[in-house]
Chain A
Amino acid sequence: GAGVSQSPSNKVTEKGKDVELRCDPISGHTALYWYRQRLGQGLEFLIYFQGNSAPDKSGLPSDRFSAERTGESVSTLTIQRTQQEDSAVYLCASNSISGGFTDTQYFGPGTRLTVL
């Protein structure tokens, strides 16, 4: 079946502009995660959705970052008033959490954001 998809694959924006990044998880996956990978660093957790609610937003770096999920499917990560330090690859992953164990997270190809 289709894997996790993300769009756009690349986004170049000017400092101060808002951007929206989209994630389409695997159909039927109730859990959705956003991560960020800045150059030379590991992946940082941003936010977790279970269904349409976000019980863990602890990784969002500032109030300029927000995310929503609708229909237990598509999620959008919005960054307002982008700064150069927001430049990174933004990765989305989805899985089904069952039985108290963490099922495999399936990752999308990422969106490379460059803020000039």
Chain B
Amino acid sequence: AQRVTQPEKLLSVFKGAPVELKCNYSYSGSPELFWYVQYSRQRLQLLLRHISRESIKGFTADLNKGETSFHLKKPFAQEEDSAMYYCALSGWSSSNTGKLIFGQGTTLQVKP
């Protein structure tokens, strides 16, 4: 079964502290993994995807196929990082529709 698990509903850190938002997935093919973010009163938007292997707003995420994880990390959290973060996967196969399977989301709260 295809599933994305984000074990933490809420992660609260102080400004300047490191952040790691956990994401584990279950998928029997070649998944594409994404992190989407929703800031207060804004629409859901892509933060980063594993294929790009880039750092966005200081965030990085590495796909670990052995551990089936795609944790999101940032070495020094900023107050403007406070938002809801969703991990998502999409399958790439001949029957791929591109639909996203989302985790339940983690609220990141960065305190001053």
Contacts and interface: CB of A to CB of B under 8 A. Distances in A.
A102 B43 CA distance: 20
Contact of B92 (A59, A102, A104): A102
B64 interface: no
B86 A107 contact: no
B98 A42 contact: no
A31 B103 contact: no
Interface string A87-101: 000010101010011
Contact of A45 (B43, B46, B101, B103): B101
Interface residues of B, number: 23
B100 interface: yes
A42 B102 contact: yes
Given A101-B32, A102-B32, A107-B45, A43 B100 contact: yes
A56 interface: yes
Interface string B85-112: 0101010100011111111110000000
Contacts of B102: 35, 42-44
21 contacts: A31-B98, A33-B98, A35-B100, A42-B105, A43-B44, A43-B86, A43-B88, A43-B102, A45-B100, A48-B97, A93-B100, A102-B32, A102-B90, A102-B98, A103-B98, A104-B46, A105-B98, A106-B45, A107-B43, A107-B44, A110-B43
